[in-house]
Amino acid sequence: MKVIIKKDYLELSKVAANIVRDEIIRKPNAVLGLPTGSTPLGMYRELIRMHKEEGLDLSGATTFNLDEYYGISYDNEQSYHYYMHQNFFDHVNIKPVNINIPDVIDDDIDRECEEYDNRIRKSGGIDLMILGIGHNGHIGFNEPGEEMETRTHITDLTKETIEANARFFENYDMVPKKAVTMGFGGIMTARKILLLANGEGKAEIIGKLLGSSKISTRIPASFLHIHSNVIVAVSEDAAKGLR
């Protein structure tokens, strides 16, 4: 894994946006895998700036989001559909037909999961997958546990993740307990992976991830060690656990 340490969140966001921009310039019809959460917000802001001020053209790009809460309506401000439109898609020129986010409203969720993987395959596969990381090492909503699902699937969120997400909801009962997430199979077929981590809260998990080359379902992110083209970009405070 190649590690990039940046002074602060702004610099981290810029380096992430530069990597996305370079991929789009190299391959205008690139397929991007996209995360939500607090970490990529600065990257999306910088990409919007590049689009508006520097003419970055995303009209050929296709996107696949990593995950969506199960049973949430898309006009709920906490849904990832809402987040992606609000924070990125509404401000750039990605064609709506090329935007893919797991459809959690579908009556047959298993079929939708299967179709999501088929759509990724038919697109030619993900060129650049951008990831955040949970405090517990989750990637997408692939949570620590006994086993790891490779395909897109519906999953129970761990207590730790529900608690981490609770800050965004009015009360605990409203926090989704399930999500649909791309599995490690989909993530690992990406040709290049960029993992982002910001803030002191991520120092421990980044220390664990980079402090060992072993893989374990207890730290889902550790599976990234198998991939040959991973960049881990972190802010200085998230790098505090590194020797």
In the bound complex, what is the minimum distance in angstroms from residue 37's beta carbon to ligand F6R?
3
Closest by Cα among 92, 2, 1 to 50: 92
Phi, psi dihedrals of residue 29, rounded to the nearest 5°: -100, 35
Question: Which residues are catalytically annotated?
Answer: 67, 136, 138, 143
Among 33, 42, 102, 132, binds ligand F6R (CB under 6 A): 132
Q: How far is CA 186 from CA 4, 26, 98, 152, 199, in A?
A: 24, 22, 18, 7, 27
- CA–CA separation, 207 vs 227, rounded Å? 19
Q: Does 134 bind ligand F6R (CB under 6 A)?
A: yes
Stretch that binds ligand F6R, among 19-27, 34-42, 149-157, 217-225 (CB under 6 A): 34-42
Q: Identify which of residues 57 and 176 has a Cβ nearer to ligand F6R in the complex.
A: 176
Q: Does 138 bind ligand F6R (CB under 6 A)?
A: yes
Stretch that binds ligand F6R, among 4-12, 20-28, 33-41, 47-55 (CB under 6 A): 33-41
Residue 125 falls in which region: left (phi positive, over 0), alpha (psi -120 to 50) or beta: left
For the four alpha carbons of 81, 82, 88 and 91, in that order, the dihedral sign comes to: positive
- CA–CA separation, 57 vs 98, rounded Å? 14
The first and second tokens of residue 199, run together, are: 């803030």
Q: Does 86 bind ligand F6R (CB under 6 A)?
A: no
Amino acid at the residue 21: R
Phi, psi dihedrals of residue 151, rounded to the nearest 5°: -95, 170
Q: Does 102 bind ligand F6R (CB under 6 A)?
A: no
Q: What does the per-residue mask of binding to ligand F6R show for 151-190, with x meaning CB under 6 A?
A: ----------------------------------------
In the bound complex, what is the minimum distance in angstroms from residue 132's beta carbon to ligand F6R?
2
In the bound complex, what is the minimum distance in angstroms from residue 65's beta carbon to ligand F6R?
7
Q: Identify which of residues 52 and 218 has a Cβ nearer to ligand F6R in the complex.
A: 218
Q: Does 67 bind ligand F6R (CB under 6 A)?
A: yes
Q: Does 35 bind ligand F6R (CB under 6 A)?
A: yes
148: DSSP letter: -
Range list of H helices, the chain? 9-26, 41-54, 80-87, 109-122, 159-165, 184-188, 203-211
- Chain residues that interact with ligand F6R, rule: CB under 6 A: 35-39, 66-67, 132-134, 138-140
